[in-house]
Amino acid sequence: MRLKVAFTAAILTLCSAVWPNIVAQETTTTTQKPTVKTQRTTLNAQQTSIKWHGHAAYTITTPRGKVLMVDPWLKNPANPEVKNGGNPLSSIQKADYILITHGHFDHVGEAVELAKKTGARLVTNFELGTNMTKILGYPKAQANLDTLMNIGGEVPIADGEVTVAMIPAIYSSSIQNPNPGPKEPELVYGGNPSGFVLLIKNGPTIYHTGDTAYYRDMELIGERYRPDVALVNIGGHFGMEPEMAAKAAAAAKAKLATPQHFATFPVITQDPKSFANALKKEGIPYLLMRPGGAITFQGKQLAKAQ
Ligand SMILES: [Zn+2]
């Protein structure tokens, strides 16, 4: 699977000591056709994989084999499994946790169906989690207080292998009511929107921004977490425009940034080039994933991009 990994020569030089594997990957992707591998690829010990399903949806597999799905709108039109006419849920065999940044349909996605299929437990803000069980039918036994949380919290999951920090997002959050009526609202309260920082033992620290706007206090994310990779919304209109998204990655002191939440539907940014260019100015390595593609970390180092 082809994956564009773009760096300037200056950034390559600057970062080669810190990011030898990214530089190696750049060489590989430009000189030969990378091998296509599936999500079922067996991970070696200490490896973490991050698969992008398109839009804001990711599946993260930890070194111990725990599976975390973030904002699982797998039926988004950018997902190649949807483009090919298939049902993307049929390939999901395992999920231990479903993390949701906020209540909009393009983030809640097929969480309920996936939860019923896999037994995955819900990690999200208290109000959204509570209303998802009441209104959408998320299994109540899989949405308890030990994983429902709020901004500022750092909650251990996966037997302590992962710590989830809920990060502020400047945005909105509501659930589409499946049964609106004359006196029933279309949208139901979805709590405060958020992003997540995931601290994985023997793995990378990952920042998923959610749909937040840029805000200056993102510097605190950098001070406290220094994410190894940031999954940054760049689509504009409903979130950060690309140049501000690069500013967010810089404020969070991301060691690598990859764009998400773009080119899924018409009103959001279609081309990530302006994000790549703005990142260059910030001196942050850029990696463009393809929907359906994955990146693998060996410890905290990027080892492979598919
Ligand atoms: Zn969104």
Distance from Cα 233 to the centre of ligand 1, integer Å: 8
Enumerate the domain spans of the chain.
Answer: 1-32+213-291, 47-153+174-193
Average pLDDT on 250-259 reads: 98
Q: List the single range of 39-43, 148-152, 183-187, 205-209 with lowest mean pLDDT.
A: 39-43
Cα 222 to chain centroid, rounded:
17
* Predicted local distance difference test score (pLDDT) of residue 185: 93
Distance from Cα 107 to the centre of ligand 1, integer Å: 6
Average pLDDT on 161-188 reads: 96
Distance from Cα 282 to the centre of ligand 1, integer Å: 25
Distance from Cα 219 to the centre of ligand 1, integer Å: 23
What is the bridge-based pairing of β-strands 58-61 and 47-52? antiparallel
Dihedral sign for Cα 84, 89, 95, 100, please. Answer: positive
Average pLDDT on 70-82 reads: 97
Going by C-alpha positions, the residue among 231, 210, 227 that lies closest to residue 219 is: 227
* Predicted local distance difference test score (pLDDT) of residue 84: 81
Q: Please give the CATH topology (third level) of the domain spanning 47-153+174-193.
A: Metallo-beta-lactamase; Chain A (3.60.15)
Distance from Cα 258 to the centre of ligand 1, integer Å: 16
Average pLDDT on 196-223 reads: 98
* Predicted local distance difference test score (pLDDT) of residue 83: 84
Distance from Cα 202 to the centre of ligand 1, integer Å: 30
Q: How far apart are CA 131 and CA 116, in angstroms?
A: 16
Distance from Cα 256 to the centre of ligand 1, integer Å: 22
Query: What does the pLDDT look like over 212-252, one tens digit per residue?
Result: 999 999 999 999 999 999 999 999 999 999 999 999 999 99
Q: How confident is the model at residue 306 (pLDDT cuts 50, 70, 90)?
A: confident
The per-residue pLDDT of the chain, averaged, comes to: 89
Average pLDDT on 278-300 reads: 98
Distance from Cα 301 to the centre of ligand 1, integer Å: 29
Query: What does the pLDDT look like over 77-110, one tens digit per residue?
Result: 999 999 888 999 999 999 999 999 999 999 999 9
Residues 6+ apart with CB under 8 A from 109: 57, 71, 72, 73, 74, 75, 76
* Position 59 pLDDT exceeds 90: yes
Report residue 283: phi and psi, to 5°.
Answer: 75, 30
* Predicted local distance difference test score (pLDDT) of residue 28: 31
pTM assigned to the model: 0.86
* Position 4 pLDDT exceeds 60: no
Distance from Cα 26 to the centre of ligand 1, integer Å: 30
* Predicted local distance difference test score (pLDDT) of residue 40: 52
Distance from Cα 15 to the centre of ligand 1, integer Å: 32
Query: What does the pLDDT look like over 20-50, one tens digit per residue?
Result: 333 333 323 333 333 444 445 566 668 999 9
* Predicted local distance difference test score (pLDDT) of residue 165: 98
Distance from Cα 136 to the centre of ligand 1, integer Å: 18
* Predicted local distance difference test score (pLDDT) of residue 9: 36
